[in-house]
Amino acid sequence: MISRRITPLAGILVGSSLLLVQPALASPPTLSPSVLFPSAVSPPVSQVEKKPVAEGSGGAVSTVDLDASKAALGVLREGGNAMDAAVAAAATLGVTEPYSAGLAGGGFIVYYDARRKKVHTIDGREAAPKAMGPASLEGIPFDDAVTSGLSAGVPGSVAQWELALRRFGTLSLRQALKPAIDVATRGFKVDQTFYDQTAANAARFKDFTSTAKLYLPGGAPPPVGSTFRNPELADTYRRLGRLGGEWLYGGALGAEVVATVKKPPVTPGSTRNVRPGLMELSDLKAYRALERPPTKVTYKGMDVYGMAPPSSGGSTVGEALNILEALPEVGEHEYLEASRLAFADRGKYVGDIPGVPLKELLSDGFAKERACLIGERAMPHPAAPGDPDGMYGPCQAAPSAEAGETAPEVAKEGPETTHLVVVDRWGNVVAYNITIESTGGNGIVVPGRGFLLNNELTDFTFGPAPGDPNLPAPGKRPRSSMAPTIVLNDDRPLLALGSPGGSTIITTVLQILVNRWDFGMSLPEALAAPRATQRNTAQTQAEQAFIDRYGAELTRQGHSLVLNPEIGAATAVEFLRHGRLQAVAEPTRRGGGSALVVNERG
């Protein structure tokens, strides 16, 4: 049994190694850990099992993966705070969910600092290299761009981890990477999801010598039930911990990334046209993770905080909530219509550009003007964007789409990417989306280093599209839909949530909030409920159970529903009464997630 006395510079165990804990500057004074984690009621981390709902106290975690949740739980149990645990979980996801997350990806963190009662965000989004311009992606078939050096953005995750730990954590990067190193060394059990994702990628993985060697050992995906180890990634994490982010941002690891991007290790004989990338070491040197003010709207008296541009998550979820609040009642029809309108505005106004009219997009006046357009029947398609100019009049007839104007159809987006929530005993909260974009990123493993590169730059508009706020530009970050979200009531946290799923992330977060606060579902019910996603498209994609339950009525109202078998893979934590926490993950989508609490009966 290890000592649980937490003091500044106390020794703690993470995995099997003694770590030094720095003073928990971001956290209030500690309570007695022996009260918080009575051993009789809290199984050791090694024995916790995968389940979608956990209730208790002293801290909580929800991720898509048991190993990642365990990594976070171990850090929390040993005195680390929510940011320490979130970085540990994210790095572990880079091992066990390498097709969704990794050190060469990017992401967004929304963080509630309990001591200062303040919400912060950290933008670790990938950036375009300096040599990229508005026409760099023009004319390239989307699938070709995905599997290329050209789509690899300057990675943001490592800079984000360092900034997050420096600003809000208590562990060093080296300490926070330890659980992930243990999992990469020891290995993890291949589940059906990992197998399926590898198999779905096999055709392109085999086209790169480095990727085939790692993920197609013996020429095929590792079988379900086998143990998958990634010693090269363990070594990369170990060196990263020792050498720090500089190793990537201008150092030798960066040089290897650049070499891989510029000359991908294509398997001899492959006929794939793999376009080289534009990234230089100077782009890595120039990269910074950034703190940005969060977006904020007030919905039914609660403050909903989200991620500002370059993500469209906070503004689009926020605008849709404001529209819903301006309506006399909220049902499934209103949810879909509010989302449709918010997506019309997202497309016209939101990107990584100066002058996004964020304040007006999130104003009650604009929301009322937009809400006027929602009637008994589904709006004509596509909805035109509004005019967030600060001058909002009484309701007028809906503007019809200009002749010939059509919103692009949106392909079905799978539940790649990942989201996690961590809460610590002090009430600090992390909602964290991390991604390498497509399942398997650009499909290219950096030789000998054990990690895949991202293809985040395919989130740019390919063009030509004059005036589009999301065209590529030097150093620009592609518009994201990631929407890590924290809800406060009277400055106290109530709920934190998020999801993967490309642009369906926005509708999944919105739908869960509506399920919880408008339809009165419990949080587990709100996550499990069947989903639908309307993103200003002619058809509304919906899961089968949603179509079965609401399809007839919505069709009468003019909606056209089309099947999307699975939308999102959410994770969330709710603050219940008397200091209790409810951690919730998906019960079934994407193979189900893992919710844990520090003290199960507290």
Binding site for ligand DON (CB under 6 A): 413-414, 416-417, 435, 437, 456, 459, 480-482, 500-502, 505
CB contact at 8 A, 294 and 306:
yes
Nearer to ligand DON, 124 or 502 (CB): 502
Write down the residue that tokens 């009621």 correspond to.
Answer: 41
The residue written with tokens 């419990």 in the block is: 522
With contact defined as beta carbons under 8 Å apart, do 530 and 561 qualify? no
- Report the nearest approach of ligand DON to the CB of residue 202 (Å): 19
User: Which one, of 48, 35, 3, lies nearest residue 597 by Cα?
Assistant: 48
Residue with smaller CB distance to ligand DON, 170 or 197: 197
CA-based nearest residue to 308, from 138, 108, 44: 108
Q: Assign 3-class secondary structure to 211-268.
A: HHHHHCHHHCCCCCCCEECCHHHHHHHHHHHHHCHHHCCCCHHHHHHHHHHHCCCECC
Burial string for 79-100 (b: 16+ CB within 10 Å, else e) reads bbbbbbbbbbbbbbbbbbbbbb
Nearest to 462 by CA among 479, 450, 481, 444: 479
Q: How far is the CB of 489 from ligand DON (least distance, A)?
A: 28
Closest approach of ligand DON to the CB of residue 330, in Å: 26
Please identify every residue annotated as catalytic.
417
Q: Give 24 or 90: the residue with its C-beta nearer to ligand DON.
A: 90
Taking residue 34's Cβ as centre, other Cβ atoms within 10 Å add up to 10
Choice between 417 and 511, CB closer to ligand DON: 417
Could you give the residue ranges of the DSSP H alpha helices within 518-593? Answer: 523-528, 544-556
- As measured in angstroms, the least distance from the Cβ of 416 to ligand DON is 4
**Rounded to the nearest whole angstrom, what is the least distance from the CB of residue 122 to ligand DON in the complex?**
15
Minimum CB separation of residue 352 from ligand DON in Å reads 12
Nearer to ligand DON, 376 or 409 (CB): 409
Alpha carbons 221 and 219: distance in angstroms, whole number? 7
Closer residue to ligand DON (CB): 33 or 498: 498
Give Cα separations from 199 to 92, 144, 219, 223, 383 (angstroms): 22, 19, 11, 10, 39
Instruction: Provide the 8-state DSSP code for 441.
Output: T
Tell whether the torsion through CA atoms of 490, 491, 497 and 500 is positive or negative: positive
Rounded to a whole number of angstroms, the minimum distance from the CB of residue 60 to ligand DON is: 23
If DSSP codes are grouped into helix, strand and coil, which group holds residue 457? helix
If the CB atoms of residues 79 and 484 are measured against ligand DON, the closer one turns out to be 484
